[in-house]
Amino acid sequence: MNNRTKRAVVEFSVQWQSPYATHRDRIYAGKIDFWRDFFPGNLHDGIKALDIGGKYVEHFAPGVLVPPYSKVHVRHIKKKDFGKDTAADAVSPVVGRYYPQDLAWKQLNCFPGDTTPFRIIGATETSLLADTNHPLSQYALTVAAQILDVQKIAVQRGGSLTDVADILCQNGPGMQIPTEKAEMSMYGAYPFQRANAEIDTEFYRTPRLVQHLDNTARRHVRDIYGRLLRPGMQILDLMSSIESHLPGNTQDYSVTGLGLNDEEMQQNRALSTYMVQDLNTFITLPFSDKTFDAVLCTVSIEYLMRPFEVLAEIERVLLPGGVAVVVVSDRWFPGKEMVIWPDLHPFERQGYVLNLFRRQKALINLHTESIRGYPRPDDDRHSASTFTSDPIFAVWGEKQ
């Protein structure tokens, strides 16, 4: 990129290692301005020197991109005042969950309307233990920046300043880290309940021949699967529908679909064979142990009432060295999802899936990846109301 270039389209990614998984959070930044934006470390010079397609990587110690962890930011607050004088008086605090600081703004010394998240990490009958540290405050972070496009600007006349560290670290990264104290109790009584209790085979009797994700999001899912799959694999597409989101030539794989609607799966050209089964009624998968090289579940895990048992079945039918992948987004059939799902922050949903994987001791080398902020295609039916593509949150692991 020459010196006259002032603005670039960049995909940033932040990679970090928690005790539970390797994490990668990617975000699209459409207008990085080298004249007025603020860059941590050497990112400004490192990125500005790149041409389209170029990539720059920099490592940051804990507490550099976000404020460092401090015990001062872990404090007790009165339970009776949680949510008081707000529109969320009915919110019941749950250990392990994140909440906007607005719900305890007087006790946390912030301001009404502050959406900065804090986590409840303990509780007594009268008090809550609140952690207001940034979720990434204790982790070393590796930042990668790739130039997707460049734009030359003849004249600069001011404008807003963007802190690149905020682009990288705000609005959720780190919230997918599980909390040992809460485990799965934070998601409600088990088996999980749903607002629409209609039997799934009845609800899905009428085929829904529609895509659940926009074209850009589907491309991102294919790219993730492309990194994890190899030609010749035996694949189970769990909770299958009209598309399996596989990369390349679908004939490279042998794909078995298991879903709820015969006609939907007939439309899926990737499937070598398929069968109808309601996993909320019949949990046991109709396959022998160690059958598949990969099991994929795309934007459907939130519908399961007994996900622990289903994950155990996924582990059972995987071959050693096989991979299990679950992808979630922010679209679902209202009422058929687990009750708490809409209330969870998107990164908490990813943390929920990671918790499911952690409970299967044979699933190792766990990873999470998020992709956010890309433009929604202009011809997408939701483009008038939502300018960004459906976000992607993936979790995967391999069977030892």
DSSP string computed for 109-151:
T--TT---EEEEEEE-SSEEEEE-S-TTTTS-EEEEEEEEEEE
| Separation CA 397–CA 346 (nearest Å) | 20
Q: What is the pLDDT of residue 209?
A: 82
Please calculate the CA angle 392-336-240 and round it to the nearest 5 degrees: 55
User: What residue has token string 């919230």?
Assistant: 175
| Separation CA 340–CA 337 (nearest Å) | 8
Whether 24 and 107 share a structural domain = no
Question: Over 60: is that where the pLDDT of 4 sits?
Answer: no
Whether 95 and 190 share a structural domain = no
Domain encompassing residue 51: 5-63+138-169
DSSP 55: E
Whether 232 and 359 share a structural domain = yes
Whether 89 and 156 share a structural domain = no
User: What residue has token string 């969870």?
Assistant: 344
Whether 150 and 227 share a structural domain = no
Q: Is the pTM of this model over 0.85?
A: yes
User: What residue has token string 């155990």?
Assistant: 312
Q: Using pLDDT thresholds of 50, 70 and 90, give the confidence band for residue 212.
A: confident
Question: Residue 222 in contact with residue 394, Cβ under 8 Å?
Answer: no
Whether 162 and 305 share a structural domain = no
**Is 179 within a domain?**
no
Whether 82 and 112 share a structural domain = yes
Question: Over 80: is that where the pLDDT of 90 sits?
Answer: no
In the chain, pLDDT over 70 holds for what percent of residues? 94
What is the average per-residue pLDDT within 103-117? 92
Please calculate the CA angle 234-255-311 and round it to the nearest 5 degrees: 70
DSSP for 260-328, please give it. S-HHHHHT-TT-SEEEE--TTT--S-SS-SS-EEEEEEES-GGG-S-HHHHHHHHHHHEEEEEEEEEEE
| Separation CA 105–CA 82 (nearest Å) | 9
DSSP 71: G
What is the average per-residue pLDDT within 88-110? 87
Whether 212 and 349 share a structural domain = yes
Question: Residue 309 in contact with residue 283, Cβ under 8 Å?
Answer: yes
Helix axes 346-358, 307-317, angle to 10 degrees: 60
pLDDT, averaged across the chain: 93
**Is 178 within a domain?**
no
pLDDT in tens, 337-385: 999 999 999 999 999 999 999 999 999 999 999 999 999 998 887 777 7
| Separation CA 181–CA 189 (nearest Å) | 16
Q: Using pLDDT thresholds of 50, 70 and 90, give the confidence band for residue 303.
A: very high
Whether 362 and 259 share a structural domain = yes
Q: Using pLDDT thresholds of 50, 70 and 90, give the confidence band for residue 155.
A: low
Question: Over 70: is that where the pLDDT of 139 sits?
Answer: yes
Q: What is the CATH number of the domain that holds 57?
A: 3.10.50
Question: Residue 135 in contact with residue 173, Cβ under 8 Å?
Answer: yes
What is the average per-residue pLDDT within 24-46? 95
Q: What is the pLDDT of residue 180?
A: 73
Least confident of 19-33, 74-88, 125-139: 74-88
Q: What is the CATH number of the domain that holds 272?
A: 3.40.50.150
Q: What is the pLDDT of residue 186?
A: 86
Bigger pLDDT: 158 or 359? 359
What is the average per-residue pLDDT within 140-166? 83
Whether 203 and 287 share a structural domain = yes
**Is 176 within a domain?**
no
**Is 302 within a domain?**
yes
Question: Over 70: is that where the pLDDT of 391 sits?
Answer: yes
Whether 112 and 215 share a structural domain = no
**Is 180 within a domain?**
no
**Is 174 within a domain?**
no
**Is 177 within a domain?**
no
Whether 53 and 110 share a structural domain = no
Question: Over 60: is that where the pLDDT of 156 sits?
Answer: no
Least confident of 107-121, 124-138, 179-193, 355-369: 179-193
| Separation CA 220–CA 12 (nearest Å) | 15
Question: Over 70: is that where the pLDDT of 89 sits?
Answer: no
Number of domains in the chain: 3
Q: What is the pLDDT of residue 181?
A: 66
Q: What is the pLDDT of residue 83?
A: 84
Bigger pLDDT: 163 or 384? 163
**Is 383 within a domain?**
yes
